[in-house]
Structures are given as C-alpha cells and as structure tokens.
Copies of this chain bind each other. A is one copy, B any other.
Amino acid sequence: MPQPPEHSPVPDAVGRPLRRDARRNREVVLAAARRMFAEHGADCSFEDIAREAGVGVGTVYRRFPDRRTLIEAILEQRVEDVDAAAADALRLDDPWAAARLFVGAAARMQLEDRGLRELLHDHRFVSAGLALLRRRITPAAEELARRLRDHGAARTDLTGQDLVALIRMLGSLAPDRPETAGPGPSGPDDPDDPVGPPAGFERYLDLVVDALRREPPARP
C-alpha cells in the first residue's frame, strides 16, 4: 500500500511545506545517508553521502544543516519501524509473546544496521539518538510493561524503560568483526561468532525477557 505522496510534507524552517523537487531531494539524500551509515558508520563524510545520493554537498547541507539533524531524520525513519513492531506486538494477546516480539524486533534492527547501532550506542551520537528513540517508543513500551505486570506475572516494579534497556543491551551483541558482505542477517548466530555458542541472539533474547518474570518459567 503505497503511502499517499503528498502526505506529511516535512516543513522547512519557516514552516512552509517543501516544494516538490526539494522534498524529493530530501528523500534521496536521506536514503543515501541511511545506506552509507549502515555500511560505513555514522561518521561517514557528507561528501560521500552526497555522492551516493547523486547530488552536490550543498544540497545535503541545505536539507540537513548539521549531522545531528541528519541523524534525527534517519532515526525518525527507523523509529517508525519500531513503532510498527510495537503495534504488531500490541495486537497479540499473550503479553510475553508481545514483549518478545517487540524487544526482539527492535534489537535485531541494531544488529543489522551498523548506523543504527552507532546512533544508539556510540557516545558521539547517542545523546541525539537515544533521546529520540525514548521519546517515541516510551508509550508503547509502557503499555507493554503494564500488560506484563497486570496479566503476565512480571516483576511488579517492571517499567517500560526496562524494555528499552533490554533492547539496548541486546543491541550490543553485535558481531565483533566487520559485517560480512553476504546477504541475510549475518550476526550473532554465526557459529564462528563470539556472541556465540551455543545459541546466539535468540538465546539471549529469551534469557533477558524471561528474567522479567516474577516466577520464572520452568525451563525445558
């Protein structure tokens, strides 16, 4: 279902909606930046982003006057993905399945996108990134926490921020080697990977989510 093209026209500083070509440029640059961040890290040069986008540097600067602005715009996009995962999760009846879905999806995103990971963990960017993330996903996280407490026999002091913390923690389990160029979520399940044996990401996901129960489940 393609989004209606004229919806949510990002306004410029003065508040006027952008001209059509300007808006298109903004999208092109943003997509290029996302690719570059994902591949080369969040400190790649504006020049590189411009080249990837096929525009001049000036254009990048016009739309995103500094790196922080650019970072926030990129996060805005990714946060929408998290929101979507949250919405999916909230549709589930079982609060534990919901929590696992939500936390897992949000954590996995970091493992697959170096840029995102840096924005949420790297000291140089985290103040821009984490605040935004928090602002946006807190409502859903709190709702999920409430359900866990009320219907899931979770720890009574559980908060939505705990879920955010788990997401960050799991996101730090990224492979300690440069991503292999191969397709698919190369990541902690690589048998050769240090996160490693015996089970990798899914294992730790279960571990920390289950740690939130008041009476933990019997293990198989």
Residues of chain A touching chain B, judged by Cβ–Cβ distance below 8 Å, are 41, 114, 117-118, 121-124, 126-127, 130-131, 134, 155, 157, 159, 161, 164-165, 168-174, 176-178, 194-199, 204, 207-208, 210-216, 218-219
**How near does chain B come to A75, taking the closest CB pair, in angstroms?**
13
**Given A169-B169, A208-B207, residue A159 in contact with residue B198 (CB < 8 A):** yes
Residue pairs across A and B with Cβ atoms less than 8 A apart, 21 shown, are A41-B124, A118-B123, A121-B122, A127-B177, A127-B178, A130-B176, A155-B219, A157-B199, A159-B196, A159-B198, A164-B194, A165-B204, A168-B173, A169-B170, A169-B204, A207-B211, A207-B212, A208-B208, A211-B211, A215-B218, A216-B216
B123 and A194 within 8 A (CB): no
The contact of A130 among B117, B131, B165, B194, by CB within 8 Å, is: B194
Q: Whole-angstrom distance between the alpha carbons of A212 and B208 in the complex? A: 9
Residues of B within 8 A of A215 (CB): 216, 218-219
Most interface-central of A131, A174, A176 (chain B CB within 10 A): A176
CA distance A199 to B162 in the complex (A): 10
Q: Chain B residues near A165: list those with CB within 8 A.
A: 173, 195-196, 204
User: Within the complex, what minimum Cβ distance (angstroms) separates A91 from chain B?
Assistant: 27
With known contacts A169-B172, A207-B208, A197–B161 Cβ distance under 8 A: yes
* Contacting pair A172 B211 (CB below 8 A): no
Which residue from chain B places its CB closest to the CB of A199 in the assembled complex? Answer: B157
Given contacts A178-B127, A207-B212, A211-B207, contact A169 B161 (CB under 8 A): no
> Looking at the complex, which one of B123, B131, B178 makes contact with A117 (CB distance below 8 Å)?
B123
Q: Is the CB of A134 within 8 A of B194?
A: yes
Residues in B whose Cβ lies below 8 Å from that of A194: 130-131, 134, 161, 164
- A157–B202 CA distance with the chains assembled, in angstroms: 14
